[in-house]
C-alpha cells in the first residue's frame, strides 16, 4: 500500500531506519509528513475501536450476539483479569481506562502484521511516549490524591535504616518517576520496531539472495517461509505487549493506591 518498497527488485539489503518513514500519501507534496500511512493507521485504529464498540453495544441483549460477546469478553478480560486482579476491588473504576488502553495498543500493534499495511504506528516512539505519559501522570495524580503531599515520602522513602537512605532515595526516585514511563514507552516501541525490522530483514534478505545468485533461490524461499513463521511470532508479541503495558499500568496504579508500608 502507498508505494512503500513495492519495487523490491533492487532494494538495498540491510533495512534501515528510513524504512519506517513511508512516503506521504496526502496531496500536500512529496516532502510533507502531515498525512502518511502512519497517520492513516492511527485514525483507522481509533475509528475501528469507537465504531466497533458503539455498534456492538447499540442494542445490548441478554443473550449476546457474536459481536456483543466479543466486546464483552474483551472488556471482561481487562476488568477481571487485569483491573480487579492487580488493583483489587477498587480497580473496577479504572477498568474503562485500562480496557481502552489495551484495545488501542492491541489494534495499533496489529497493523504490523496485517497484509498491505504491515507497519505498526507504535514503531514510531512518539505514540508509545504519549501512552506512557498518560499512565505516568495518572499514577502520580492518584498517589497525590490518595496520600496528599505524603505521597512523596510514601514513594521515595522506603522503611530502611537512616544511613542507607541517601542512597535509596535517589534510586527510588529514579526507578519510580523516570525509569517507569521511559521503560513503558521503550518496551512497546522497541518490540514493534524490532518486529518490523525482523520481517524486513527476512523479506528483503530473500530478494537480496535471489538477486545475487540464482542458485540461492531455495534459501530465499526458506527466508520467505521464515517471514511467515515470524509473522505468527509477531502476533504473540503484539498481544503480549498490549497485555504487559496494561498490567504494568495497573500495577503502578495499585502502587499509588496502596496503604502505607
Radius of gyration of the CA atoms of the chain, in A: 22
Site string for another protein, 41-80 (x = CB under 8 A): ----------------------------------------
Query: Interacting stretch for another protein, rule CB under 8 A, among 29-37, 149-157, 160-168, 185-193?
Result: 185-193
**Contacting residue, 74, 190, 216, 258, with another protein by CB under 8 A:** 190
Report yes or no: 125 and 192 within 8 Å, Cβ to Cβ.
no
Report, in Å, the least distance between residue 17 CB and another protein: 6
Measured CA distances, 37 to 107, 123, 131, 171, 193 (Å): 15, 12, 20, 41, 16
Report yes or no: 128 and 122 within 8 Å, Cβ to Cβ.
yes
**Contacting residue, 136, 193, 202, 207, with another protein by CB under 8 A:** 193
Report, in Å, the least distance between residue 68 CB and another protein: 26
**Contacting residue, 138, 152, 222, 244, with another protein by CB under 8 A:** 244
Distance CA 135, CA 216 (A): 49
Distance CA 105, CA 189 (A): 11
Report, in Å, the least distance between residue 72 CB and another protein: 21
Report, in Å, the least distance between residue 244 CB and another protein: 4
The three cell numbers locating residue 227: 517471514
Task: Give 112's DSSP letter.
Answer: T
Report yes or no: 173 and 153 within 8 Å, Cβ to Cβ.
no
Contact flag: residue 248 with another protein (CB under 8 A): yes
Alpha-carbon dihedral sign for residues 9, 15, 18, 21: positive
Nearer to another protein, 71 or 86 (CB): 86
Count CB neighbours of 57 within 10 A: 13
**Contacting residue, 187, 222, 233, 235, with another protein by CB under 8 A:** 187
Footprint of another protein (CB under 8 A):
17, 81-82, 85-86, 183, 186-187, 189-191, 193-194, 240, 243-244, 247-248, 251
Amino acid at each position: 500500500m502507498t508505494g512503500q518498497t513495492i519495487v523490491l527488485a533492487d532494494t538495498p539489503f540491510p533495512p534501515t531506519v528510513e524504512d519506517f518513514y513511508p512516503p506521504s500519501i496526502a496531496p500536500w507534496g512529496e516532502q510533507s509528513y502531515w498525512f502518511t500511512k502512519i497517520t492513516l493507521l492511527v485514525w483507522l485504529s481509533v475509528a475501528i475501536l469507537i465504531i466497533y464498540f458503539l455498534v456492538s453495544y447499540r442494542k445490548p441483549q441478554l443473550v449476546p450476539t457474536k459481536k456483543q460477546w466479543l466486546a464483552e469478553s474483551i472488556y471482561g478480560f481487562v476488568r477481571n483479569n487485569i483491573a480487579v486482579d492487580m488493583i483489587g476491588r477498587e480497580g473496577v473504576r479504572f477498568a474503562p481506562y485500562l480496557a481502552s488502553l489495551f484495545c488501542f495498543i492491541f489494534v495499533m500493534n496489529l497493523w504490523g502484521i496485517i497484509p498491505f499495511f504491515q507497519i505498526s504506528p507504535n514503531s514510531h516512539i512518539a505514540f508509545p511516549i504519549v501512552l506512557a505519559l498518560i499512565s505516568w501522570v495518572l499514577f502520580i495524580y492518584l498517589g497525590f490524591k490518595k496520600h496528599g503531599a505524603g505521597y512523596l515520602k510514601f514513594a521515595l522513602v522506603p522503611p530502611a535504616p537512616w544511613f542507607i537512605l541517601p542512597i535509596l532515595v535517589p534510586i527510588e526516585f529514579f526507578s519510580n518517576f523516570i525509569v517507569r514511563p521511559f521503560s513503558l514507552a521503550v518496551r512497546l516501541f522497541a518490540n514493534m520496531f524490532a518486529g518490523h525490522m525482523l520481517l524486513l530483514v527476512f523479506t528483503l534478505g530473500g530478494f537480496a539472495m535471489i538477486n545475487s545468485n540464482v542458485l540461492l533461490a531455495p534459501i530465499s524461499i526458506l527466508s520467505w517461509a521464515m517471514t511467515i513463521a515470524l509473522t505468527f511470532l509477531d502476533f504473540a508479541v503484539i498481544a503480549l505487549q498490549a497485555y504487559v503495558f496494561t498490567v504494568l499500568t495497573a500495577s503502578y496504579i495499585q502502587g499509588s493506591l496502596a496503604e502505607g508500608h
